[in-house]
Amino acid sequence: MKSKLAELLLGLSTLVLVLAGCGADAPQFTMDAEQVREVAAGIADFKLPEGYRPDYAANWRGAAVAAYHPDDEHSHLMFIQLPEGDGPDKLDTNKTLQQFTHDEMEDYSQVTIVEERVVTIDGQETTLIVGEGVSYDGTPYRQITARFAGKNGPALINLTEPTRRWDWARLDDLLASIR
């Protein structure tokens, strides 16, 4: 059974993915690698997993996103800085998703929460939400989302990869590197 926090984190990470895909409410995007690094540096310090490179950064309604990917079309790593006072525990995910998603995106993919585990990020315990699903093109994937204390307030990490590529040891190394 999924917890309210799990639903909230998964919904928020899904919202960011949808917004990145549809450009709702004109977020400010850049694909400049140095600007992606600058946005990420404002969220947290971390060691980027091997093979990942800057994809884009976005600022939208006081939130900042730094996104990375390897050279495939299915893997994404995002660090998300939430506006101060708008942590996942303060958001009504259903209302937010209804407000910002488009009807045509509803069947893009389905994610089912399969596990919640306690992890430590920068010395603080947090809940890692593990979801699994199938992308729009039929590729099975795994997605994790966890909340942590970013440099400027509440933040999220979201990693989505095809299950054939998934590596728990690499994820553990990434989480251990976040400061």
pLDDT of residue 15: 54
pLDDT tier at 88, thresholds 50, 70, 90: very low
Buried b or exposed e, range 83-119, using 16+ CB within 10 angstroms: eeebbbeebebeeebeebbeeebeebbebebeebeeb
Please state the pTM of the whole predicted model: 0.77
Mean pLDDT on 48-59: 95
Cα separation, 152 vs 155, whole angstroms? 8
Confidence of residue 43 (pLDDT cuts 50, 70, 90): very high
Q: How far apart are CA 138 and CA 119, in angstroms?
A: 30
| Domain, as residue range, for 95 | 4-177
Pick the residue with more confidence: 101 or 21? 21
The confidence score (pLDDT) of residue 128 equals 95
CATH of the domain at 148: 3.40.1000
What's the total number of domains in the chain?
1
- Return d(Cα 168, Cα 163) in angstroms, integer: 11
- What's the pLDDT score for residue 13? 53
CA distance 121 to 119: 7
Q: Which two tokens stand for residue 151?
A: 């440099």
Return the percentage of the chain with pLDDT > 70, whole number: 71
pLDDT higher for 43 or 135? Answer: 43
Q: What is the residue-averaged pLDDT of the chain?
A: 80
Overall average pLDDT of the 32-61 stretch: 95
pLDDT, tens digit, 9 for 90 and up, residues 155-165: 999 999 999 99
Decide: helix, strand or coil at residue 83: coil
